């Protein structure tokens, strides 16, 4: 059976429900967006990645629920040229910088501001990648954590080159945030509905 929910198609077989989560990866050039995507999809680090911008999918079962991750590994953009189309598509955003590249951290700050202007409540996880290159570190963990705290984002430092599990946690935390946001939206829509009904009844009484 196929049902429409919040303009999203959810596929149901018996009691099983598959939830879709559109995840957009953003960040400056060379920070490891493709490396993180490929790690998550294949568990591998292949070292060099082409320039093909594409959406990839992977289905996982989390807490008994099937989640279809649709991942848009976008080409790096200047802050300011972040297309609205990509942001409107996303249910959640992974903002990537390299811990060795301060400029890429500044780009994350700028992109975050831009995201907040057009999608105020979209969940975001900030990722400091290339954690294996400690000797070249240019951004401290505290700076990354503080930015995430101030902007209410998730935060991880990972190495796409070295570990799979750290990368897995990034995607899983984001999907948790996406599910929480949807649940909140649903319950606040419910409350709005109740308020409308109550005002309709009282409005009527006043008119009588």
Ligand X SMILES: Nc1nc2c(ncn2[C@@H]2O[C@H](COP(=O)(O)OP(=O)(O)OP(=O)(O)O)[C@@H](O)[C@H]2O)c(=O)[nH]1
Residues near ligand X, by CB under 6 A: 27, 29-35, 47-49, 75-76, 129-130, 132-133, 159-161
Q: Judged by CB, which is closer to ligand X: 34, or 111?
A: 34
Q: Which is nearer to ligand X, 92 or 128 (CB)?
A: 128
Q: Give the residue with the Cβ less far from ligand X, 49 or 202.
A: 49
In terms of DSSP bridges, do strands 65-73 and 54-62 run parallel, antiparallel, or are they unpaired? antiparallel
Task: Please name the residue that has the structure tokens 């279809």.
Answer: 68
In whole angstroms, the minimum distance from the beta carbon of 177 to ligand X comes to 22
- Which of residues 47 and 80 has its CB atom nearest to ligand X in the complex? 47
Q: How far is the CB of 133 from ligand X (least distance, A)?
A: 5
Q: Which two tokens stand for residue 109?
A: 């700050």
Query: In whole angstroms, how close is the CB of 29 to ligand X at the nearest point?
Result: 4
For residue 106, what are the β-bridge partners? Answer: none
Please report how close the Cβ of residue 53 comes to ligand X at its closest, in angstroms.
8
Q: Residue 20 Cβ, how far from ligand X at the closest point, in Å?
A: 23
Give CA–CA dist 12/124, Å, rounded.
28
H or E segment and range at residue 26: strand 16-27
- Nearest distance from residue 190's CB to ligand X, in Å? 40
Classify residue 125 as exposed, middle or buried by CB count within 10 Å of its CB (0-12, 13-18, 19+).
buried
Residue closer to ligand X by CB (options 38, 177) is 38
DSSP state of 135: G
Contact 94, 36 (CB under 8 A): yes
Cβ pair 28, 19 in contact under 8 A:
no
Choose between 19 and 114: whose C-beta lies nearer to ligand X: 114
Beta bridge partners of residue 18, listed in sequence order: 11, 66
Residue with the closest Cβ to ligand X? 32
């Amino acid at each position: 059976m196929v049902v429409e929910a919040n303009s999203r198609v959810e596929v149901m077989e018996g009691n099983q429900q598959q939830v879709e989560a559109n995840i957009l990866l953003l960040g400056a050039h060379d920070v490891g967006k493709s490396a993180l995507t490929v790690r998550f999809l294949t568990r591998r680090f292949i070292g060099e990645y082409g320039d093909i911008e594409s959406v990839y999918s992977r289905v996982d079962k989390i807490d008994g629920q099937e989640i279809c991750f649709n991942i848009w590994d976008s080409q790096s953009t200047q802050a300011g040229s972040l297309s609205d189309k990509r942001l409107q598509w996303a249910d959640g955003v992974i903002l990537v910088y390299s811990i060795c590249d301060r400029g890429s951290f500044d780009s994350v700050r700028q992109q975050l501001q831009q995201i907040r202007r057009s999608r105020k409540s979209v969940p975001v996880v900030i990722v400091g990648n290339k954690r294996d290159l400690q000797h070249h570190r240019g951004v401290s963990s505290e700076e990354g954590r503080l930015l995430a705290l101030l902007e209410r984002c998730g935060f991880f430092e990972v190495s796409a080159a070295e570990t799979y599990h750290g990368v897995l946690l990034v995607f899983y935390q984001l999907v948790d945030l996406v599910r929480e946001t949807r649940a909140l939206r649903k319950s606040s829509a419910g409350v709005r509905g109740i308020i409308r009904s109550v005002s309709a009844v009282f409005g009527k009484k006043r008119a009588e």
